[in-house]
Structure 1
Amino acid sequence: MPEGDTVWNTARVLERALTGDVLTGSDFRVPRLATTDLTGWTVAESASRGKHLLLRLTREDLTREGLAREGLARGDRAMTLHSHLRMDGAWRAYAPGERWTGRPTHLIRVVLRTKRSAAVGYHLHDVTLVATDQEDTLVGHLGPDLLGADWDPAEAVRRIAAKPQASIAEALLDQRNLAGVGNLYKAETLFLRGLWPWTPVADVPDLTATVTLAQKLLASNRGRWTQTTTGSLRKGQTSYVYGRRAQPCRRCGTAIRKADQDDRVTYWCPRCQPEP
């Protein structure tokens, strides 16, 4: 499941494959962009914002009329291609002539080509092209990005505390509070803080320590695809509670439990994270 660190890593893949290059072709297999052609646009930057990917493009060689003819009604010379991975999306980069082996071809939603690479987006969601100065219409609602320059634990705590009756698990997953935490880091953060997932925000003794730990866990996995919260990269040893239903707790030996919570599943140790 893509979480903030996975999306950050994906942005780096696109950065290495595309940044600084001029697009020689594009293929959009989503209805709203089916006729859009980005040939001639330069990839200026690949960025992530929480779980959102932002590919920023520039074009200086066309008049406003020429840009409008390409379907960009405002004639903008700086555009952002936005995509969201959700549960199953992925971007892959390939060398010219290399076989595309990432996913079945019917799942391809976007193809971007340059002279040195092809970036292929599989099963992408919310694919949108907007003027770069209008990015906030897509991501402006998000809280501080745990892996971004705007990370601010005090602001994250302020937003979480505004809903004191929400469960702490729900609060960590709410991207409007802090951007990047998914089910894995939610479960692992709460285990390490000794918090029962249904604990009301108002009863959490140290919200600052909780969000700071979540940020540290995500940051520790930047640059690698194997996510670990235990420090081990060995298969079956990368998490404390996530994905370990009925297995013994690594601390106390109690069987890890799993339950539905707010339309998601959660994992916890009933002894290390006791119900108040």
Structure 2
Amino acid sequence: MPEGDTVHLTAARLRAALAGQSLVRGELRHPQLVEHDLAGRTVLDVASVGKHLFTRFDDGRSLHSHLRLDGAWHLYRPGMPWQRPAHQARAVLETAERTAVGFNLHDMELLPTAEEDRLVGHLGPDLLDPDWSDEHAAEALRRFTARGESELGLVLLEQRVMAGVGNLYKTEVCFLLGLSPWTLVRDVPDPAAAIDLARTLLLRNADRPQQSTTGELARGRTTWVYDRGGQRCRRCGTRIRTAHQGDGVHARIAWWCPTCQPGPSPRGGVRGSGRGRPG
């Protein structure tokens, strides 16, 4: 599932292409929305809230979409061939100069802009909120510390605590904090620092497609432990281990260095080599 910075960048690119423009084509191909034609509407804004996208129109409505695992918005010049098959298109928003195509979009809904909170009001503070304040940080800290009996790695992924962290940043935050992903939140020495670190990493990558937590953009050098199972830790040389964390649909692969990240170990099996992508 895309991280919050990926969704933030998607919103920025759609905003630059569509905001202030009238649609000459506005097709919604989701089964529950096919009767709606947005042609003639003017796009006012495109905003991200955590991992949710809202395209706002001049008639007081918003198109909500969620990328989940396989969704994406592509931008084309009118007439250009699409890079994905047409049957995957769920929305086509075209102006005189640009065409935005939403492929494999999920949880689509056309709703009054004033009611967007109905879909995202349950989320914790958005780490990429442009209006982030001390109040946002305090609320994230309150929600974070309230999960004291839960594992750090799982709480970092909990969008109701703070919105925007995915498995990549969860993994890297745990490493940079020097804590096992299975550390209980009550045992995290500085919870505020964990929140601040997650926000810092997301902000660092919010305006570019490359995601790096090491400060390097070269291939194979962008992360400390994420997706590096069996390879040597960049700090100490210990082989990075992998294991699943969480249950059912919430299970994700965790990568960690047992030397740099002392603490609780996973209850299930541990792999010392191999690579894998989180579900």
TM-score between both structures, scaled by the size of structure 2:
0.90
Q: How does 1:8-157 map to 2 (within 5 A)?
A: 8-58=8-58, 77-101=59-83, 103-151=84-132, 152-157=136-141
Residue 257 of structure 1 contacts residue 267 of structure 1 at CA under 8 Å; is this kept in 2? yes
Alpha-carbon separation, structure 2, partners of 1:125 and 1:23:
22
Distance in 1 (CA, whole Å) between partners of 2:197 and 2:85 is 38
Give the match's secondary structure for 2:91: strand
TM-superposed CA distance for 1:147, in Å, is: 0.7
- Between the aligned partners of 1:175 and 1:213, the Cα distance in structure 2 is 16
Using the TM superposition, give the Cα deviation of residue 104 of structure 1 relative to its aligned residue in structure 2, in angstroms: 2.4
Q: Is the 8 A contact 1:144 1:150 kept in 2?
A: no
Gaps of 5+ in 2: 265-279
Tell me what 1:269 maps to: 257
Determine if contact 1:7/1:51 at 8 Å carries over to the other structure. yes
Q: Is 1:226 matched with 2:207?
A: no
Q: Distance in 2 between matches of 1:88 and 1:52?
A: 14
- What's the secondary structure of 2:21's corresponding residue? coil
What are the superposed Cα offsets for residues 148-194 of structure 1, whole Å, 9 maximum, x if unpaired?
13432221110011121111111110001100000000000010000
Aligned-residue Cα RMSD (Å) equals 1.0
Equivalent pairs, count: 257
Work out whether 1:200 is the aligned partner of 2:181. no
Letter in 1 for 2:115: Q
Q: Deviations over 1:97-152 (max 9, x none)?
A: 11212x22222111111111110001111111110000011111111111113432
- CA separation in 2, counterparts of 1:228 and 1:104? 31
My pick for the range that moved more, 81-90 or 144-153, is 144-153
Cα distance change of structure 1 residues 150 and 201 upon mapping to structure 2, 3 Å threshold: farther
Aligned equivalents of 2:27, 2:42: Cα separation in 1? 16
Structure 1 stretches (4+) deviating beyond 3 angstroms?
none
Cα distance, 1:16 vs structure 2? 1.4
**1:12 Cα deviation from its structure 2 partner:** 1.1
Give the partner amino acid of 2:231.
Q
Identity fraction in percent: 54
Please list, as runs of the form range in 1=range in 2, the aligned pairs for 1:179-218 lying within 5 A after superposition: 179-218=163-202
Match for 2:31: what amino acid?
Answer: P
Q: Which runs of 5+ in 1 are unaligned?
A: 59-76
CA distance in 2: counterparts of 1:86 and 1:270, whole angstroms: 31
How far apart are the structure 1 equivalents of 2:2 and 2:166?
Answer: 8
Distance in 1 between residues matched to 2:111 and 2:167, nearest whole Å: 29
